[in-house]
Every structure is written in structure tokens, then in C-alpha cells.
Chains A and B, each alone.
Chain A
Amino acid sequence: GAVVSQHPSWVICKSGTSVKIECRSLDFQATTMFWYRQFPKQSLMLMATSNEGSKATYEQGVEKDKFLINHASLTLSTLTVTSAHPEDSSFYICSARDPSARGRSYGYTFGSGTRLTVV
């Protein structure tokens, strides 16, 4: 089945530095990828939708200059948290949609998540 690989699984960084998280579709081409953020004991909040070759669409309240999303190829999307601060500490999860998988799961496959801790 479709597999989405997300790296790193956890990262600790100093306040003020930037962190990049990668989301790769391993066996399918993902024209659309999604980035979610999850605070402890809370639900997943959609941050942005990235489409290959075009600008990401950010949800209301998400700072596009702080959370940079790049979807330069059909198998890779990256989320860069710029000038990270402790309040950015969270669990970030990506999801990719396989347009050919409509009959199976409507193509949503999730990565295993990245735990970001900013100290």
C-alpha cells in the first residue's frame, strides 16, 4: 500500500534556529500534501495544503512566513519552522494524497509524525 515517510521522527533545537521536516511519498506520486499540527492531548489541526509546483495554501491563523512549505517534486514536501520558539514545540504530521487511490482510501496516507521540541 501507499507509504509516506516523515523525517526526522523527533528533533530538539535551540530557540531562534530553523528546523526542516521532510515528507516523502515512497511508492506513489503525491500531487497534494497536507501538514498538520497536534498539541498534546489535542486533535490534528490542518496548517496548510501544498500542491506540487505551486504555492501552499495556508489555513487561517497560520503564519506563512514562519512555516515555510515547499513541494518541489511529486514525492517530497518540506515544512521549515523558521526562527523556532518554545511555543512552536508540537507534533507535526504530514499527509499525502495519491490521486490514483480513490477507490482504496481516497488516497490519504499519513506519516509517522515529527516531535519538535524547542528549548
Chain B
Amino acid sequence: AQSVTQPDIHITVSEGASLELRCNYSYGATPYLFWYVQSPGQGLQLLLKYFSGDTLVQGIKGFEAEFKRSQSSFNLRKPSVHWSDAAEYFCAGGAQKLVFGQGTRLTINP
């Protein structure tokens, strides 16, 4: 069965520091992978997606993610976080339907 795992429930970084959020997937074939961000009480906003081709994908708000088949990972990165990046981040995967990871809550220290 397909599954998506986010090992880190909560991460705190200082403003201006770099960020990496981890995501691991389990699929039989190459999955479609997504990263979403959710602010409290709000819906989901798509940050970026991977279907095929270039394994380093660029998204909105300065985020990028790298698909590594050998590690079954699709980690989200940002070189310098801003206070406004504080939110819940979800990795998701699937083709016919999306399966979500547990989410990682990002806190930014001033």
C-alpha cells in the first residue's frame, strides 16, 4: 500500500536559517509527490510537485524539493526562512488519490 511518512512532527529554526523538512514515501512505482503548506484554520496551498524528469523541483515562496529514488525521499528545502513561513507542512503522494504524511509543524524563532 502506498504511504507517506514525515519523521519530524515539529521543527524550530531561527529566522534566516536554512530549512529541510523530511518526507519518505513507499510506492510500487514512481509516485506523484507534492508538498503543501497549511496555515491555522486554512486550506492547503501547493508549494511544489514532482511527476517525472528533473529530480530537483522549484516551488513557490523560495522552496525546492529533491526526489531521491534511492532513498525514497522527497525532502523540502529553503535556504533562508522567514517568520511568515511558520505553518504546518504536508508531504503527499499518489496518483488516483492523495495520501498525506503526518505533517511537520514549523516554528520560526526571531
Contacts and interface: CB of A to CB of B under 8 A. Distances in A.
A43 interface: yes
B41 A93 contact: no
A44 B90 contact: yes
Interface of B: 32, 34, 36, 41-44, 46, 49, 51, 90, 95, 97-103, 105
A36 B38 CA distance: 14
A46 interface: yes
A111 B51 contact: no
Contact of A43 (B34, B46, B90): B90
B103 A42 contact: yes
Given A43-B90, A106-B32, A106-B51, A112 B43 contact: yes
Nearest to A109: B46
A58 interface: no
Given A93-B43, A112-B42, 11 more contacts: A42-B102, A43-B100, A43-B102, A43-B103, A44-B44, A45-B100, A46-B99, A46-B100, A106-B32, A106-B95, A113-B42
Given A106-B51, A108-B34, A108-B98, A6 B43 contact: yes
Interface residues of A, number: 21
Interface of A: 6, 34, 36, 41-46, 49, 91, 93, 95, 105-106, 108, 110-113, 115
Per DSSP, are chain A's interface residues mostly helix, strand or loop, or mixed?
Answer: strand
Contacts of A36: 100
A95 B98 contact: yes
Contacts of B41: 91, 113, 115
A44 B100 contact: yes
Contacts of A115: 41
A115 B105 CA distance: 20
Contacts of B101: 43
B43 A49 contact: no
A93 B44 contact: yes
Contact of A105 (B46, B95, B99, B105): B46
